[in-house]
Amino acid sequence: MSEGPLTRLTDFGQSPWLDFIQRGLLESGDLGRMIERWGLRGITSNPAIFEQAIAKTHDYDGEIARLAKLGKNAVDIYETLALADVRAAADLFLPVFEESRGTDGFVSLEVSPRLAREAHGTIGEARRLWTALARPNVMIKVPGTPAGLTAIRSLLAEGINVNVTLLFCVERYREVLDAYSDGLEEASVSGRPIEGIASVASFFLSRIDTAVDDELEPIANSGGARGAAAKELIGETAIASARCAYREFEMHALSARWRDLAARGAQPQRLLWASTGAKNPRYSDIKYVEPLIGPHTVTTLPLETIEAYHERGRPAQRLVGTGESGRKTLDALARLGVALDRITARLLEQGIRKFIEPYDRLLESIEAQRAAVLAPGLSAGENGGVGLGR
């Protein structure tokens, strides 16, 4: 493994994961070389990533045609493709999983985003995907909605690894920590070993600053003392929120409840920094990486951010003990009348939509290819239609 900023993140207790998956990346050997070059410790996917991979490349055309001729509908085709990619990636990361004794080397696959508000549907789909993947180093992604929290408890209690996604606020993250403990306790009571159950909590970053900055900039432009205060806060909310979330993690780790679970072999539920690509061109392209390096964390990075950090990163522990500074920033935001809880609630709803929309576009694209393969002998409607979720 080559020495560089990304490989050194593990010195400070942080694991770099890739936020991207594509058939060509797997079949070309590029992912294996990236694991070796950059020290990648895992990989994540979501409906938007799979839309980019499947609908906007030709990597999957032959497989889509083959499955269409077998009578598969669009949802079945999508799942077959996604499951194959996740299995192949999990096999590549298996040595990392084994070397880390089950704490790293994970690949994540998301339940249908249309199930974000359905606990029962989420549980059923997560069980089905987990069984179909049949790999110890996979995680099923479940959104951090109220329904998702119910599903998370049940899935963890069954020994299913969970990546809790779409977290934007510290209060919801606190609930996720409780749900993780609930699930492990239930698993332990039922006699299930808990040392092999893994989970991460994915806290989204750049989207927070985009939304909050939209409210701060008019205040900053108004001038005066209030404007000056707002100007100082532009671009600061996401990192401050992450620091506050990490403080919750630190406090949870000191609790008697967690000490009891740890004594039974439980792994910490690591915070995973998501949405780390800077969306504002005025910000550094490693803005959401450098300040958030600390023990028991994961940073999940798109390709361009990985390349930027590999070139310019200066890794060091910068996260432990920063909770108070994060809280001061959020308090200053509240004094300006910016309601962060309202913004993060909106971001959660937007996040769900931003996964549903590419999911639906992907299914439509697959259906168009399927219909073209079957025409003129069999129309798409005669073979089950698109179907937009289970």
Maximum separation of any 2 CA atoms in the chain, in Å: 72
291: preceding bond cis by omega (within 30 degrees):
no
pLDDT at 385: 41
Query: Which pLDDT tens digit goes with each residue over 295-317?
Result: 999 999 999 999 999 999 999 99
pLDDT at 381: 43
pLDDT at 3: 81
Strand, helix or coil for residue 235 = coil
Strand, helix or coil for residue 141 = strand
pLDDT at 377: 54
DSSP structural state of residue 38? H
Q: Which residues contact 134 (CB under 8 A, 6 or more apart)?
A: 87
Strand, helix or coil for residue 123 = helix
Query: Which pLDDT tens digit goes with each residue over 151-184?
Result: 999 999 999 999 999 999 999 999 999 999 999 9
Low-confidence ranges of the chain (pLDDT < 70): 1-2, 376-390
Query: What does the domain layout of the chain look like in residue ranges?
Result: 5-209+239-321+350-383
Do residues 106 and 198 make contact, with C-beta atoms less than 8 angstroms apart? yes
Q: Which residues contact 237 (CB under 8 A, 6 or more apart)?
A: 208, 209, 212, 213, 329, 330, 333, 340
pLDDT at 387: 38
69, 72, 141, 328: the active-site residue: 141
Residue 279: active-site member: no
**Fold category of 5-209+239-321+350-383 in CATH:** TIM Barrel (3.20.20)
